[in-house]
Amino acid sequence: MNRLQAPEYTTQFNFPAIAPEQHQLANQMQLFVINAGSQALCKIEMVFNAGNYFESNALVANATNSLMREGTSNKSAGEIAELLDYYGAFLETAVYKDKASVILYSLNKHLHKTLPVMMDLIQNAIFPEKELLLYKTNQKQKFMVNQQKVDHVARNHFNAMLFKDTPYDQFIEANNYDELSQIQLQNFFKDRYAGNDAYMVIAGKITDDVLNQVKQEAGNIALKPVNEKKNYINTQNGRTELLIEKKDAMQSAIRIGCRLFNKTHPDYFNMQVLNTILGGYFGSRLMSNIREDKGYTYGIGSGVASLLNDGFFYISTEVGVDVTTATLTEIYKEIDALQQTLVPTEELELVKNYLLGTFLRSVDGPFAISEKFTSIKDYGLSNDFYKAYVNHIKQVKAQDLMLMAQKYLGKNNLSELVVGKK
């Protein structure tokens, strides 16, 4: 099989519906229902504006989200875990730069026992001092160990390079763990969880009984007004170069990128295609050149990340210190090629097939569809967003991609960070 040879390209595409039913609960919370499952189980997710963007002190959002499961005013952590295990349910929490979630997976027949646990957690988490101390100790130890790894240091500093003096900066230092306090977590929880900007998404085989249980339980939550979002200005920083030298390093971590835009921008789709060609999959140009041909690295990739108020493009790899400079040269060579030469038709068709296939796999099942829905709901985008994405992928031209590369990937726009040796 020739990975560089595109299979036969087709415009036929069985597009799954991403159009949940919408309900409004007694407390005015929005509830979105994706009724598409065949098995009698469901995923219930409540989404909050409680990501890192909203924290006043470093690590508070992560700690709050992680320690929610360590007990409420009604149940201990052990009692919560035992009850969920008994009924075959699973509860997880997640935190991102903008959002945070509490998610329950449960069999429908046990929802009357498992859903109250989730609601209790959202309203009555207490963040025990003992568990917080253990969390601080463990996380700080992990941080100190990771500080010896060039990729971890690069990730921390690169984020600060791109988003200096914005709420997305979020530079972490060891003392930030020591400064975490129970009152910080309790206040953040009170301010950002169960606010009137929260919403719920349920997915699976959603019967009338399931829907009514969710409406009753979630509709009884007393929602509180939340503070307005921070004012934010998306500005481009221009090129910055930073070398963090590690004398004993065997590898250098390389990060190249720039602030960009989020998925509401008209150039977002084209940038996704351009990024895939450059470094977004195993057959990309960066992988073919720097891994397959030169053997400088085990892996290299690029990405386009979307945030509610911003976005960014990045290239990431770790290489031997003896080839750091050579790797940088090859990276910029590949970017220059995209700016100066049209992508060949065969390569473009290959990438189109890859993107369409990847998307189809990403919406396989109701839980996956719910993830896709939340990823556009937060941006105020329509349910047709992904249909427009698919149609755009089919139609994108090589000339469009060259213009994107020229417009956004000029060397003067790209910041460069090396941790190790150069």
pLDDT in tens, the chain (422 residues): 455 555 554 445 566 667 899 999 999 999 999 998 889 999 999 999 999 999 999 999 999 999 999 999 999 999 999 999 999 999 999 999 999 999 999 999 999 999 999 999 999 999 999 999 999 999 999 999 999 999 999 999 999 999 998 999 989 999 999 999 999 999 999 999 988 899 999 999 999 999 999 999 999 999 988 877 677 877 777 889 999 999 899 999 999 999 999 999 999 999 999 999 999 999 999 999 999 999 999 999 999 999 999 999 999 999 999 999 999 999 999 999 999 999 999 999 999 999 999 999 888 889 999 999 999 999 999 999 999 999 999 999 999 999 999 999 999 999 999 999 98
- Nearest alpha-carbon partner for 328 in 420, 404, 208: 420
Give the CATH number of domain 241-420: 3.30.830.10
C-alpha span between 309 and 312 (Å, rounded): 11
What confidence score (pLDDT) does residue 15 get? 60
Q: Residue 254's closest CA among 419, 422, 131?
A: 419
**Which are the contacts of 54, defined by CB distance < 8 A and separation ≥ 6?**
61, 167, 188, 192, 229, 230
Predicted local confidence at residue 165, as pLDDT: 87
What is the rounded CA–CA span in Å between residue 155 and residue 274?
23
Helix (H) or strand (E) holding 44: strand 41-48
Tokens linked to 164: 């200096």
Positive/negative CA dihedral, 144, 145, 147, 153: negative
| Coil, helix or strand at residue 95 | strand
User: Kind of pairing, strands 241-245 and 300-306?
Assistant: unpaired
pLDDT at 211: 97
Beta carbons of 29 and 198 less than 8 angstroms apart? yes
How far apart CA 301 and CA 292 sit, in angstroms, is 13
- CA proximity to 15, closest of 363, 354, 268, 394: 363
SS3 state at 261: coil
pLDDT value for 9: 47
Closest CA to 108 of 201, 23, 210, 184: 210
Q: Quick check: do 21-219 and 241-420 share a fold?
A: yes
Q: Residue 224 has what pLDDT?
A: 86
Burial (CB < 10 A; 0-12, 13-18, 19+), residue 183, is: exposed
List the chain domain ranges.
21-219, 241-420
Class of domain 21-219: alpha beta
Total-model pTM: 0.92
Q: Cα–Cα distances in Å, from 156 out to 94, 147, 221, 244? A: 20, 10, 37, 12
- Number of Cβ within 10 Å of residue 210's Cβ equals 24
Inter-CA distances, 45 with 95, 163, 214, 218, 227, Å: 13, 29, 11, 11, 22
In whole angstroms, give the CA distance from residue 351 to residue 344. Answer: 11
